Structure 1
């Protein structure tokens, strides 16, 4: 007997689309804003990055002590966007692993649980705690799993991650609302964004960031151990030489 596939509920789909559009069209707070538009436009420089890499010299850097590193991508990006950084860290002698979730479409209890299991597996397989390097939203994931599995995390490094100030102090919260279906301040799980993980936690931030407000990415004392200022765009955190150099220094200094 042939089983018929369930019929697609067009009415429910239209209702959900309308709900997400309404979320994206919400009025922003009067006292909070993302970086100025000129900074946001500056993020377009990322299109020239593949050409810059052809001319870029890669100095031979060797890690003081090889680490196991997990890279966590930003919102709506795939781990392939961090492949350049991964190659530079590997060239220095580190073991670099992807986070195992593909595109980062936002948090849920299910994907955080998968991430926790992967973290535990990596720590067991490589014989020690893992260093987490998270870009933008990936940094929020890193901070959260470090709180849940502190024994498996050696250090957390965030890059332009909006863990402080206001969750709407960025230029993509409307896109986030539409894609995830929930407000930035109402994730589908219990989380304290500004709460510092129980391991060393370093926040890389940039005054040139065109997506996340510097106050949100640098944090306040007690929300991270140190904040390190760079001079790159938000997209540049994944490939800019100074960003990669900063990550290498943090791996050596842990």
Structure 2
């Protein structure tokens, strides 16, 4: 899921230019082993997470990875009663118009199969694809949850760099959108991962590595909490109680 760091260095968020992750943040990605070790002990708590209506969820991987990287997310969602689907596009080799069109077909197939709107969880570049699908096909998308996705970058869907694309893509699609991000992300600029303030957008900060977001227990709980909301009744993440101690 790692990006070339320079690919994301020029994003600007109003008055603040996003910064490339420093060497401490990059070194901090080694914490991924601690996140992996925390997964098994956290399973009983994770299985007590809120459960929704079992609707279908499409899970999109980050760059340089494929469906094998999202196995934990999908198996967890299945344990909670959802129908979790892989993207079935092989490895994610980066932004391309051809891949985007294939994902449109994939989403359309799932929407027609269930005759319901589909939630999309996208990790890193997968989250950028997820938001663009929701922008173009809001009738088929229930909500979007992105994990460390720098949609505020200027990288276009055909792989070229276009500053105008950054401004357009930062505008949220017309469906509920949750961005899960980490200030200690050692791969992408966390500033580029934050949603603009709107009626149905939110940002959830977690203490996570970029590489470990697919199996970090706090990330998994946040995904479950967001997907459990009744369709059409979206509300922001509740930070009361222990949520307020663990999530930013």
**Alignment TM class, shorter chain as reference:** 0.7 to 0.9
User: What is the match of residue 235 of structure 2?
Assistant: none
Structure 1: stretches of 5+ with no match in the other structure: 1-22, 169-179
TM-score (norm. length: structure 1): 0.75
Partners of 2:51 and 2:72 lie apart in 1 by 17
1:157 matches 2:160: no
Structure 2: stretches of 5+ with no match in the other structure: 12-16, 232-248
1:103 to 72, 91, 105: 91
1:237 to 208, 213, 223: 213
Contact 1:41 1:210 in 2 (8 A): yes
Bigger Rg, structure 1 or 2: 1
Contact 1:35 1:213 in 2 (8 A): yes
| Secondary structure at 1:105 match in 2 | coil
Partners of 1:100 and 1:223 lie apart in 2 by 33
2:195 to 206, 219, 231: 219
Shift of 1:215: 1.2
Q: RMSD in angstroms over aligned alpha carbons?
A: 3.2
Q: Rate the CA distance shift 1:183–1:32 in 2: closer, same or farther, 3 A.
A: farther
Q: Rate the CA distance shift 1:93–1:236 in 2: closer, same or farther, 3 A.
A: same
Partners of 2:158 and 2:221 lie apart in 1 by 36
Q: Rate the CA distance shift 1:163–1:25 in 2: closer, same or farther, 3 A.
A: closer
Contact 2:18 2:189 in 1 (8 A): no
Shift of 1:182: 4.4
TM-score (norm. length: structure 2): 0.77
Segment drifting more, 190-199 vs 48-57: 48-57
Contact 1:100 1:115 in 2 (8 A): no
